[in-house]
Every structure is written in structure tokens, then in C-alpha cells.
Amino acid sequence: MSLQPVRGMRDLLGEELDRQKHIVKTAEEIATLYNYESIETPIVEYTSVFKRTLGETSDIVGKEMYTFSDRNNESMTLRPEGTASVIRAIISEKLTQTLPQKRIYSGPMFRYERPQKGRYRQFYQLGVEYLGQDSPFADVECIALADHILKTLGIVDYKINLNTLGDMESRQSYKGALIKYFSKYENDLSEDSQSRLHRNPLRILDSKDENDQKISANTPKFEAYLSSESKAFFETVLNGLNILKIDFELNPHLVRGLDYYCHTAFEFKTTSLGAQDALGGGGRYDGLMQQMGGPSIPGVGWAVGLDRLALLLPEFQTKPSLRIAVIPIGDELELEAIRLTQELRLKGFTSEIFLKGNLGKRFRQADKALCNIAVVFGSDELAQKKVKVRKLQSVEIETNKETFVDSSQLISHLSSLI
């Protein structure tokens, strides 16, 4: 039997992992400029945290959650997204007393989807949640933060799609109009859309089914059902984005796959990843905290898919750094080599020790381990209190092929090579 990871789940290593880490580091640095603090929530929550909040008719709750009973017969779920967990944590930790809360998080999420490129069952998100601010400028700031991060990462192929889902009353009356409209075509709708017709007809608007899309083309427009407050809210968001010179496209069919949104909804769409065109998405969720049993505190946020961003990340330049191979010639020098390697590491140099095989073999091992400088010494060098510093394969380090350096000057010599 060959040991494989679970379908739709994979080991992250090498460049893919480096890319994800680089994205998280960059995003966290930028989020600090906007006063965000980190939060980490457990990967497992009581199922109720997600079940009602994400929407009974959503794909996530309907068919994608990893839900199981624990040994105590409690229903548990591996988190499919971060927002509900963060709100749960804000309530549990009584952070509702200290508003606003601006939180950034990242980590694995789980959805039982059909795996393909850019879509996994264990995938990684980075997200932010901004709680306790009902001004539309919070929405603007949130979108600006995501745009700032994507641009800094050098990701260029994306468009911000924007829509308003209005307030509850506007949405209710629009839903009524949609049910009336779609009911005329009920038998022609896809199975998914038929099941959503009465419970969440808005989702029919973003159906991927071609026939559903044809039927949706002539639906009544939401604008006619938006309250004047909702319209004014959205106008302010648009004005804010314009003043910050953030490009966006209005997309009246953008409704998002989770039920908790109101007012602003947005997605970062790319044309570079085929069917998985959403790099990230988010919006405002003013009713969510109260729905989860907390006080009525408004919120807005987004999450991006790290797996998808990593696929689009342009080559990123890491600073050329020294990787030092320590190579003693002669068994009796091994202890000195271990001492020197540790000294180098304590001084902040990435170092590896090569003890086995003839000299040629050890140089080859050092090359393979991507070392670019070797510190070599035998008993003669040691007697003279010197070491040989030899350039390995690296192209980035400007130095002679081989130099003798006083042992006491080694650290400063190596520092001068960076």
C-alpha cells in the first residue's frame, strides 16, 4: 500500500511553501500599517458555529463541511472559513468591550469540494476582520488593504468586483421580486437553483450553469429595491474607492456564497487560474455577531486563498544570503568543526557541517545543500590559526576563489561578503 495524503489535501514544501510564507509575512507587515493585530482560532469548532451563520442553503453547509462526532458525541466541524470562528472568539474572549477590533489571521481551512488546480479540500486562507465600525469608510479601508497587499506582492492580474446586497429590508423585498421572476422559469433552472428558489433566490444570480445565467440576464434590478440608506452607503463606498484611486468593476450578479453578508460585497477575480477565478472575497456582515448570540456589532472583512495567490506570485527575490559549509580535514578536527559551526549559527549565519567522505564528495554535498561558501581547515591551518574560505557554486557572492583568513577575523570576513 502506498502512503498518500487524503484526497484534496497535500504536503506543502519547497517553493510552494516559501511562496505562502512570503505572502503571509508581507500581508502581516502591511496590515500592521492599518493597525491590525493577529488572532489564531482553533481548527475545530462546534458545528453550530458554522451551521446557522454560513447559511443552510450555502454549498459549504449543504455539502462541504467536514463534520464528525467526537468521543462525547458532540458535533464538531473542521473550520471551512475564518469569519465565524473569529466572531465566536471575539464573543468568547469578551473583546466586544474593546472596539474596534481589527484582526488578521491565516491558516488551513477545510471544504469537501471536488479537487482541481487551485481548489483543495485542505486549503489556506489569510483574512482580516474589522469589527465595531459601521462607517462605509471601513469597507473602503478593508478593500484598500487587500489591494495594497496584492500590489505589493506584485500580483497584477486581478479585478475588484463590487456589489451591494443592501440592508435586510431591501434584500427581503428584492428576494420577493426574484422568486416571482424565477418561478416563471422554475422547470428550466438547474437542480441547485431550483432548490434555492424559495430559500435564497439571490444565489441563482451567481450560478455557473449556462442556462441559469441566460434566465438571470433579465431579472429585475436590485437598484429599484434598495432603500435610500443602502444606496447612500454604497455611494460612499464608491466615492471612497475613487478618491483612493482603487479600480473596481460593478457586478450586480456578485452575491457571494455565504449568507451573512449585507451592503458591500466584493471579490478579487483573476483570469489566470481558469475556473478558480476568485483570489479572495469578502464584504460587510452587520448581523452576524448578534446572530451568533453576541451584541449587535457591525463588521466587514475578507479572505484570500493563499494556494491561489502562490500560483500567481511572480518570482520573488530573496536577498542573497550566505550558506556556509564547514569542512574539517581530518577526524581529529571534527570537534573543532562542530564548535565553529555552532559559533557561526549563533552569529546568524546559515551553516552546515560536512564530515563524511573524501573532500571532493563533501564539496559536492555542500553544493547540493546550496552552500555558497566553504570554510575548510586541516591541522596545518589550525596550527597557524587560519582557515581557508572557498567560494562554492554560488554566483551571487563576490569573492576570490580561495582566501586564507585569520580565525579571529572569520566572522567579520564573512559579514563583508553579504
* Site residues for ligand HAM per CB under 6 A: 81-83, 111, 113, 118-120, 123, 125, 127, 129, 257, 278-283, 285, 301-305, 307-308
Cβ of residue 122: shortest distance to ligand HAM, in angstroms?
8
Cβ of residue 127: shortest distance to ligand HAM, in angstroms?
5
Which triple of cell numbers denotes residue 105?
Answer: 489571521
Cβ of residue 144: shortest distance to ligand HAM, in angstroms?
15
Cβ of residue 95: shortest distance to ligand HAM, in angstroms?
16
* Minimum CB distance to ligand HAM smaller for 119 or for 263: 119
Which of 120-143 are b and which e, b meaning 16 or more Cβ less than 10 Å from the residue's Cβ?
A: bbbbbbbbbbbbbbeebebbbbbb
Which triple of cell numbers denotes residue 101?
Answer: 477590533
* Minimum CB distance to ligand HAM smaller for 168 or for 275: 275
d(CA 326, CA 13): 26
| Contact (CB, 8 A) for 109 and 77 | no
d(CA 83, CA 254): 19
Cβ of residue 284: shortest distance to ligand HAM, in angstroms?
8
d(CA 258, CA 129): 15
Please report, for residues 58, 368, 405, the alpha-carbon distance to residue 323 in angstroms, rounded to integers and kept in the order given. Answer: 50, 12, 18
Cβ of residue 9: shortest distance to ligand HAM, in angstroms?
11
* Minimum CB distance to ligand HAM smaller for 129 or for 259: 129
Please report, for residues 56, 258, 397, the alpha-carbon distance to residue 62 in angstroms, rounded to integers and kept in the order given. Answer: 6, 11, 56
d(CA 372, CA 352): 11
Instruction: Give the residue at shortest CB distance from ligand HAM.
Output: 305
Cβ of residue 268: shortest distance to ligand HAM, in angstroms?
7
* Minimum CB distance to ligand HAM smaller for 266 or for 349: 266
Question: Left (φ > 0), alpha (ψ -120 to 50) or beta: where does 35 sit?
Answer: left
d(CA 285, CA 310): 28
* Minimum CB distance to ligand HAM smaller for 60 or for 414: 60
Burial status of residue 231 (CB atoms within 10 A of its CB: 0-12, 13-18, 19 or more):
middle
* Minimum CB distance to ligand HAM smaller for 312 or for 387: 312
* Minimum CB distance to ligand HAM smaller for 300 or for 373: 300
Which of 75-90 are b and which e, b meaning 16 or more Cβ less than 10 Å from the residue's Cβ?
A: eebbbbbbbbbbbbbb
Cβ of residue 129: shortest distance to ligand HAM, in angstroms?
6
Please report, for residues 129, 386, 406, the alpha-carbon distance to residue 392 in angstroms, rounded to integers and kept in the order given. Answer: 48, 19, 20
* Minimum CB distance to ligand HAM smaller for 56 or for 406: 56
Cβ of residue 120: shortest distance to ligand HAM, in angstroms?
4
* Minimum CB distance to ligand HAM smaller for 141 or for 307: 307
d(CA 125, CA 198): 32
